[in-house]
Amino acid sequence: MIYDKRLDQFQVGQTNKYNVFRCLIREGPINRAAIAKRLHLSIPTVMAIVDELYEKKMIRSAGKIEAGVGKQPEILGIEPEHFFYVGVDIGRSTLRIVIHNAIGTEIAVMNEFTGDTFPAKEFISRLQLKVVNFIEVQGIEIAKILGVGFAMPALMEQGTGRVIFAPDFGWTDIPLQDWLQGGLPYPVLVRNSTQAMGVYENFVTALEEKGATLCVNLGYGIGAAIIIGEELLEGTGGISGELGHCVVDRNGPLCKCGNSGCLEAVASGEAIAHQAQTIISHHAQSRIAELCQGNITRIDAKMVFEAAEGGDGMALKILQTAAVNIGIGVSLGVNILDPSRVVLCGGLMRNGPWFLDMIRSSMEEHLVARSSRSLVVAAGASDEYSAAKGAARILMNTLWARRELPI
């Protein structure tokens, strides 16, 4: 933008109103004078806004302060059922839905087996029905739903919610957002799962913090989300954060993307399982062989972690190598972005803290200018609903930025 956005009286008013609303959500119940003080606004300005929100049944009285003499100030709170917003995580194995009320509380969650995802059109029809039914079962009117944010594990086109490629779903070039919108009576938005997860992790752990967060999703695949301040860096084509396809070992195994030695090809859940399968098929001296009860195809990353925790040397070695590679890969991201925080989440992180420690050690070795950094490397919230909640949050952030809340 060459010129600063032109400001006018209407925007001044809207900004004040949105700030009062946010203050009521974040700091309420609260009285008018406290809002005015917090936001550096005049009491008459706050009173006028509060009157308007009252009229729209957006806020309610939460009683009076019982203190001192004279007139007692009225405490105000948001009406939690004034509106709702929904997040859906279209996971390859599990489908998850979360409904939030106006103050952000999760009032209902559900998860079920995702089932068959092919053909896409049929899957999407079933998905629409599930979302509509789950909202209906909660007794919420359609008009009160601000929208539904979907998280999809796919390469997405920026802004349009079109799936370019979803390898685990067998989908190529599917206009997912348009198709979903076609059968749903609420606004719909689709974003990449890892980006949604990153937005949620940033929200729960850094509400007031500045700086950038690199959120790395270590699961069956590997991806990352970059959040700068409170904004997701989507990238020009919506495909930022492809940490999984950064080469960490150019002599390493071939990756699905066609390159060799991508982080995903050497350290993802899939890669860990594959390495264990290969080793066990040649070498039975491991607890992994017992855990899979002789059926090598049943070996997954979880089993390798279980064996390692049981003291199995072979499993530990596989995971140690994965952790070193993850440390190299994450260091690439840190060297380039200089974030204030790395949040590691996803399936691989739902094991002992020793795996995080291994990754940290590898990062210590591979970061440049270690001593000048004030970097926190932490495990994520490990909430199985984080992608769904993140998608809901992206939807709300979008409505907020566009000033499209019903206030």
Nearest approach, Cβ of residue 317 and its own copies (Å)? 18
272 contacts: CB under 8 Å, gap ≥ 6: 301, 304, 318, 319, 322, 348
Spell out the SS3 assignment of 175-238. CHHHHHHHCCCCCEEEEEHHHHHHHHHHHHHCCCCCCEEEEEEECCCEEEEEEECCEECCCCCC
Residue 23 touching its own copies (CB under 8 A): yes
Residue 88 touching its own copies (CB under 8 A): no
For residues 318 to 357, the per-residue mask of contacts with its own copies, x marking binding by CB under 8 A and - elsewhere, is ----------x--xxx-xxxxxx-----------------
DSSP symbol at 260:
B
Residue 153 CB coordination number (10 Å): 24
Residue 1 touching its own copies (CB under 8 A): yes
If you count them, how many residues does the chain have?
407
Nearest approach, Cβ of residue 3 and its own copies (Å)? 5
DSSP of 32-58? HHHHHHHHT--HHHHHHHHHHHHHTT-
Nearest approach, Cβ of residue 78 and its own copies (Å)? 16
* Look-up of token digits 């530990």: 316
Nearest approach, Cβ of residue 14 and its own copies (Å)? 9
Residues in 253-312 that interact with its own copies by CB under 8 A:
257, 259, 262
Residue 250 touching its own copies (CB under 8 A): yes
Rounded CA separation 161/163 (Å): 6
- The span of 3-11, 63-71, 114-122, 295-303 binding its own copies (CB under 8 A) equals 3-11
Rounded CA separation 69/144 (Å): 41
Q: Compute CA distances 246 → 75, 178, 226, 250, 252, whole Å.
A: 53, 31, 15, 10, 12
For residues 217 to 236, the per-residue mask of contacts with its own copies, x marking binding by CB under 8 A and - elsewhere, is -------x-x-xxx--xxxx
Is the CB of residue 187 less than 8 Å from the CB of residue 176? no
- The span of 82-90, 129-137, 241-249, 300-308 binding its own copies (CB under 8 A) equals 241-249
Among 132, 164, 204, 379, binds its own copies (CB under 8 A): 164
Rounded CA separation 11/126 (Å): 42
Residue number with CB closer to its own copies (26 or 56) = 26
Nearest approach, Cβ of residue 37 and its own copies (Å)? 13
Residue number with CB closer to its own copies (105 or 374) = 374
> Residue 224's closest CA among 266, 323, 233, 388?
233
Residues in 173-212 that interact with its own copies by CB under 8 A:
207-208, 211-212
- The span of 19-27, 145-153, 356-364, 382-390 binding its own copies (CB under 8 A) equals 19-27
Residue number with CB closer to its own copies (52 or 338) = 338
> Residue 199's closest CA among 403, 19, 400?
400
Residues in 354-393 that interact with its own copies by CB under 8 A:
365-366, 368-369, 372-375
Residue 260 CB coordination number (10 Å): 15
Number of residues in contact with its own copies under rule CB under 8 A: 73
Among 91, 198, 219, 238, binds its own copies (CB under 8 A): 238
Residue 49 touching its own copies (CB under 8 A): no
Output 175-178 pairs: Cβ under 8 A, ≥24 positions apart. Answer: 176/120, 176/124, 176/150, 176/152, 177/150
Residue 22 touching its own copies (CB under 8 A): yes
Among 46, 166, 248, 405, binds its own copies (CB under 8 A): 248
